[in-house]
């Protein structure tokens, strides 16, 4: 199972992700998000790290804006979280992860969106804050046919449940903030990773 760390806005998190063998590290380029990182700062962080696939994460932005930032920074993958039509995605020129929020869309609409975007997407990041029985059943209907990156927070019991019952392609873990420049406490993430190694 692969791991994704996001949203990254400091070099400490990026270096941790690379050293710990995370497959993906995500940078939020959605200006309306509190996790937004300036592309120039992300570029500096990306240039200092190797080993992980960089993911540019976008909000309600145009295809043109997404293409320009993704191309400028040389990100490996683009995550979209908006209403770009499926057949517009190839013009971005990067592998695509489509974010699907189960709590916002509901299960039926999420299934329709997954099916509509599947010909154009490399993977799907499924966001949920609950992971109830109905969502577990929903995930199990799709995990064998689609690359599902499950984003359900950093609670170890929830993540363990997801892995044991759904076996997603990847898990998204939430990055944090530096205590001060160059200093960051990774004890919680390290403990979580140690727990995952035992599953």
The ranges of the chain with pLDDT < 70 are 179, 182, 199
Distance CA 5, CA 13 (A): 8
For residue 73, give the H/E element and its range.
Answer: helix 63-73
In sequence order, which residues have a C-beta less than 8 Å from that of residue 119 and are 6 or more positions away? 86
pLDDT, residue 133, reads 95
| 33-61 per-residue burial string, b: 16 or more CB within 10 A, e: under 16 | eebbbebeebbebbeebeebebbbbbbeb
- Cβ proximity of 166 and 190 under 8 Å: no
Q: 2-197: what fold?
A: TIM Barrel (3.20.20)
Place of tokens 């499950």: 150
Q: Kindly report the pTM of this predicted structure.
A: 0.94
pLDDT, residue 178, reads 72
Given CA atoms 148, 151, 154, 155 in this order, what sign does their dihedral have? negative
pLDDT, residue 184, reads 81
Nearest of 104, 74, 77 to residue 89 by alpha carbon:
77
User: Which tokens in the block code for residue 153?
Assistant: 């927070």
pLDDT, residue 85, reads 94
Place of tokens 């309600």: 60
pLDDT, residue 192, reads 87
């Amino acid at each position: 199972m692969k791991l994704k760390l996001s949203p990254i806005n400091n070099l400490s998190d990026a270096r941790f992700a690379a050293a710990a063998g995370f497959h993906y590290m995500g940078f939020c380029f959605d200006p309306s998000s509190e996790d937004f990182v300036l592309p120039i700062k992300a570029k500096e962080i990306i240039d200092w790290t190797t080993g992980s696939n960089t993911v540019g994460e976008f909000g309600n932005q145009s295809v043109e804006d997404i293409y320009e930032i993704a191309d400028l920074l040389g990100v490996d993958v683009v995550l979209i979280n908006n209403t770009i039509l499926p057949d517009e995605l190839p013009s971005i020129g990067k592998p695509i992860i489509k974010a699907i929020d189960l709590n916002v869309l509901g299960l039926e609409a999420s299934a329709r969106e997954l099916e509509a975007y599947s010909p154009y997407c490399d993977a799907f990041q499924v966001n949920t804050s609950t992971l109830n029985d109905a969502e577990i059943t929903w995930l199990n209907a799709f995990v064998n046919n689609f690359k599902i990156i499950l984003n359900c927070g950093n609670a170890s019991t929830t993540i363990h449940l997801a892995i044991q019952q759904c076996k997603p392609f990847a898990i998204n873990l939430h990055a944090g903030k530096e205590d001060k420049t160059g200093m960051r406490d990774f004890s919680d993430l390290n403990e979580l990773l140690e727990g995952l190694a035992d599953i």
